[in-house]
Amino acid sequence: MANVNPPRGMRDFLPEDKARRERVLAVIRETFAAHGFDEIETPALEDSARLHSGLGGDNEKLAFAVLKRGLGHDELAAAAAADDGMLLSDLGLRFDLTVPLARFYASHRAELPAVFRAIQIGPVWRAERPQKGRYRQFLQCDIDIIGDPTALAEAELMLAVSATLQRLGLEGCSIRVNDRRILTGLLEHCGFAPERHAAALISIDKLDKIGVEGVVAELADAGADAAAVLGGVLDGLAPRLAAGIPVTEEAIAGALPAGGDPDAIAWLTELAGALDGRPHGVPLVFDPTLVRGMGYYTGTIFEISHPGSGSSLGGGGRYDGMIGRFLGSSVPAVGFSIGFERILDFVQLPDGDEDDAVALIHDGLPLHALATLKRQLVARGKRVRLERRPRNLKALLDQLAAAGYRRIAFVGPDAADADGLEFRALGE
């Protein structure tokens, strides 16, 4: 029998699943738009050279390549012999929405406002090993601000995201914040040479998975003394992190072994002060071990934590250097992405209006009569389904309930006008 499953790491969605996803997406879009962001759309494909230009960090290794059209046997053999995938592919599927946004801004800068607030919602693809909660195709919901070098940009992002979390009913969330300058200072304090910083950050980013001992073991090759000092710092931070470090100058300086970068601390405290520390009831907490894997972050970084999830529900940061790679001049930028697939298990939206979706169950009325009833109800804003009455009525009613229909009417042979229908709640 032929395999009828979707490709590994990719999924089909049944109507009820798709309907729920669209309801959640509608809330996200509405909330982002209410905060002054404008939605754009970029292609699923980007030039391979752009996807592998060093802007996407480790995700560049996971990009799906698209073979060039019309390749012959000799070309395929030459590429295989040279072990050069670029000879085979000039396009690839996007692995995130930030690299396409940077390209979009560089293409359309003259048509955009000085400070551009963008919404991007769409699928991305990564060729990684599928596992629970990790897919090869998944949806990202991003907002970015390009052109504002001040902490106001981060504040606007956090206001929009925290308002979205509130509207989606995600209780217990917090936003962890840090700054790449603080991380650099921490590594310098521990004795890591600059050329070892990237490897050290990769290991610290695994702290929640491998623990302090695992981080120290990974970094021993980068200098045993520096790794041991870092281990002591991380051990000392553990109780503070468990309790939650407020985003205040005193608390941040007290948590860092050498006091920390004063400019970065001032930036974070200004941001937290502007938001009163709890935008829309979502507390901000300082976490000096927060890294964020992307190599393009240059300043503030942040993640959404939830007590029911072992992974972050979203995150982002400031990436002031990325767009300049396309334009040749520096452009400040900062973005926040909600992990759509990860939040779905925690979203609690109220049920829709029970009168929005109705089903008419009939015994074979004339086509004209059924079309008239449906046309009248749709004109009144209803979602209408016509169903011929089956022998197994219960199975049909269960299917209607699963599909979101809340009211039904049994249509008799004399039904000619929607005003004469008697609706009852499904299940009565």
**pLDDT of the residue at 233:** 85
CATH number reported for the structural domain that contains residue 413 in this entry:
3.40.50.800
Token reading at 19: 């309907």
Instruction: Let me know whether 129 and 21 are in one domain.
Output: yes
Torsion of CA 58, 307, 124, 118, to 10 degrees: -100
Of 297, 315, 346, the one marking the end of a domain is: 346
Its domain, for residue 318, covers 15-44+94-346
Query: Rounded to the nearest 5 degrees, what angle is found at the Cα of 341, between the Cα atoms of 9 and 307?
Result: 125
Reduce the secondary structure of the chain to three states and give it as a string. CCCCCCCCCCCCCCHHHHHHHHHHHHHHHHHHHHCCCEECCCCCEEEHHHHCCCCCHHHHHHCCEEECCCCCHHHHHHHHHHCCHHHCEEEEECCCCHHHHHHHHHHHHHHCCCCEEEEEEEEEECCCCCECCECCEEEEEEEEEECCCCHHHHHHHHHHHHHHHHHCCCCCCEEEEEEHHHHHHHHHHHCCCHHHHHHHHHHHCCHHHHHHHHHHHHHHHHCHHHHHHHHHHHHHHHHHHHHCEECCHHHHHHHCCCCCCHHHHHHHHHHHHHCCCCHHHCCEEECCCCCCCCCCCCCEEEEEECCCCCCCCEEEEECCCCCHHHHCCCCCEEEEEEEHHHHHHHCCCCCCCCCCEEEEEECCCCHHHHHHHHHHHHHCCCEEEEEECCCCHHHHHHHHHHCCCCEEEEECCCCCCHHHCCCEECCC
pLDDT at res. 84: 54
The residue from 294, 316, 346 where one domain ends is 346
Residue 170 and residue 132 share a domain: yes
- Whichever domain contains 330, its CATH number is 3.30.930.10
Whole-number Å distance between alpha carbons of 306 and 161? 14
| 362 and 282 within one domain | no
* pTM of the entire predicted model: 0.86
Does residue 58 lie in a domain region?
Answer: no
Is 317 a domain residue?
yes
Q: Which residues of the chain have pLDDT under 50?
A: none
Residue range 188-204, pLDDT digits in tens: 888 888 888 888 888 88
Which strand ranges, in their side-by-side order, compose the sheet holding 300-305? 38-39, 116-125, 137-146, 333-339, 314-318, 300-305, 174-179, 284-286, 245-246
Taking each helix axis from N to C end, the angle separating 151-167 and 15-34, rounded to the nearest 10 degrees, works out to 140
Asked whether residue 284 falls in the same domain as residue 337, the answer is yes
70-116 pLDDT per residue, tens: 665 666 566 555 555 555 778 999 999 998 999 999 999 999 999 99
Q: Are residues 259 and 379 in the same domain?
A: no
Given this model, what pLDDT does residue 153 score?
95
Residue 285 CB neighbours (<10 A): 19
Say whether both 317 and 386 belong to one domain: no
Question: Which whole-number Å values give the CA distances from 389 to 364, 395, 416, in the listed order?
Answer: 8, 11, 18
Q: How far apart are CA 90 and CA 71, in angstroms?
A: 12
Indicate whether 254 belongs to any domain.
Answer: yes
Please report the pLDDT score of residue 306 as a whole number: 93
Regarding whether 363 and 332 lie in a shared domain, the answer is no
What's the pLDDT at 223? 63
What was the pLDDT predicted at 86? 57
Task: Please tell me whether residues 314 and 377 are part of one structural domain.
Answer: no
Residues 268, 244, single domain; the answer is: yes
Tell me how many domains the chain contains: 2
Which residues 6+ apart lie within 8 Å of 242 measured at CB?
none
